[in-house]
């Protein structure tokens, strides 16, 4: 059974009071066994916009859904034409200070796990070990027929060979890896199929309206169960695929700490709510964790 995509959410009731200090977060993190759940907000400082922030892409862009991609060749053509241009921006993006801070905390033994809703691979690029990429990664392609996976770079080369005169001008990269592109540039774009079975190729990511693989979900629940607290970084938690872990943590009595610009759907479950840019907040967090001492391991 496929879920109906949740693209927007409107908060109700009084918003949780926000603080501009990560001191309380540092106290919890310094004790260790914290699991991070990150979202698009941690990658904005790497040049990849989020979906729902002040300049979020949902204000001008409707992301591809699973049903549209699988049921319409024109939908696939539109996605791959735009994504073909957008992929280079994603591939060139570099981890920012927020990603590096998470890697530092993980290396110090203070994080028991990292779950990311992002598909940009920047946590891994920063050196974070054992990242669970909840929604997959744009650097892989999967065939919907034979389920074979291949590197995105390989598909990029094939699409470039099939479209030697494709000269669309990309504007505004989106978090799902595609770009805004004039419709006339899309119409002549040539698709390519799986080289093994001629099946339909799809980025190995979870589209809106598509279910996260059950084994991956269960792994995330185990990480939450084994953690002492959940730290949400840069996610509005609008989508249930991430919100469920916050709800599960709160239900089992674990502290939930949220660092995000703007209100989130999980605020009612949070013990602490910090409103700061992620790079600044996580740099401060590293400094404060060192001060409170649990993190002599950071030295």
List, in sequence order, every residue forming a beta bridge with 149; answer none if it has no partner.
142
42 labelled ligand-binding:
yes
The label of the residue with tokens 């002599």 reads 296
113 labelled ligand-binding:
no
174 labelled ligand-binding:
no
List, in sequence order, every residue forming a beta bridge with 232; answer none if it has no partner.
37, 258
109 labelled ligand-binding:
no
236 labelled ligand-binding:
yes
Give yes or no for a contact between 288 and 22, defined as CB atoms under 8 angstroms apart: yes
127 labelled ligand-binding:
no
State how far Cα 141 lies from the chain centre: 17
Question: Which pair of tokens denotes residue 198?
Answer: 């001629």
Active-site residue, from 84, 99, 135, 269? 135
Q: How far apart are CA 78 and CA 117, in angstroms?
A: 24
72 labelled ligand-binding:
no
Question: Which pair of tokens denotes residue 6?
Answer: 């949740």
Q: Does residue 84 have an active-site annotation? A: no
228 labelled ligand-binding:
no
Q: Kindly give, in sequence order, each residue whose CB lies less than 8 Å from that of residue 28, ignoring residues fewer than 6 positions away.
A: 34, 228, 229, 231, 255, 257, 272
44 labelled ligand-binding:
yes
Q: Please report, in range form, the residues annotated as the binding site.
A: 39-59, 117-120, 143, 146, 194, 197, 234-236, 260-262, 278
Which residues contribute to the annotated binding site for NAD(+)? 39-59, 117-120, 234-236, 260-262, 278
The residues annotated with a catalytic role in the active site are 135
Annotated binding site for Zn(2+): 143, 146, 194, 197
């Amino acid at each position: 059974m496929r879920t109906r995509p949740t693209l927007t959410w409107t908060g109700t009731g009084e918003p949780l009071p926000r603080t501009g200090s990560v001191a309380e977060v540092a106290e919890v993190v310094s004790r260790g066994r914290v699991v991070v759940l990150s979202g698009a907000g941690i990658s904005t400082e790497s040049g990849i916009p989020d979906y729902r922030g002040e300049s979020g892409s949902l204000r001008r862009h409707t992301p591809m859904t699973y049903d549209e991609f699988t049921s319409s060749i024109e939908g696939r053509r539109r996605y791959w034409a735009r994504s073909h241009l957008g992929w280079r921006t994603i591939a060139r993006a570099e981890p920012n200070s927020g990603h590096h801070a998470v890697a530092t905390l993980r290396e110090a033994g203070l994080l028991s796990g990292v779950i990311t809703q992002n598909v940009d691979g920047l946590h891994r690029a920063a050196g974070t070990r054992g990242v669970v990429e909840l929604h997959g990664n744009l650097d892989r392609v999967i065939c919907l027929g034979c389920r074979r996976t291949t590197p995105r770079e390989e598909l990029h080369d094939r699409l470039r060979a099939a479209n030697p005169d494709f000269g669309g001008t990309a504007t505004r990269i989106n978090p799902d890896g595609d770009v805004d592109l004039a419709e006339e540039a899309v119409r002549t774009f040539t698709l390519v199929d799986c080289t093994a079975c001629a099946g339909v190729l799809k980025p190995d990511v979870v589209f809106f309206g598509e279910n996260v693989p059950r084994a991956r979900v269960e792994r995330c629940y185990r990480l939450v169960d084994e953690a002492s607290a959940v730290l949400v970084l840069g996610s509005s938690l609008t989508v249930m695929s991430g919100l469920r872990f916050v709800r599960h943590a709160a239900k089992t009595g674990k502290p939930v700490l949220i660092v995000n610009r703007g209100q989130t759907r999980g605020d009612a479950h949070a013990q602490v709510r910090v409103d700061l840019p992620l790079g600044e907040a996580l740099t401060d967090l590293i400094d404060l964790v060192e001060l409170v001492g649990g993190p002599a391991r950071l030295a």
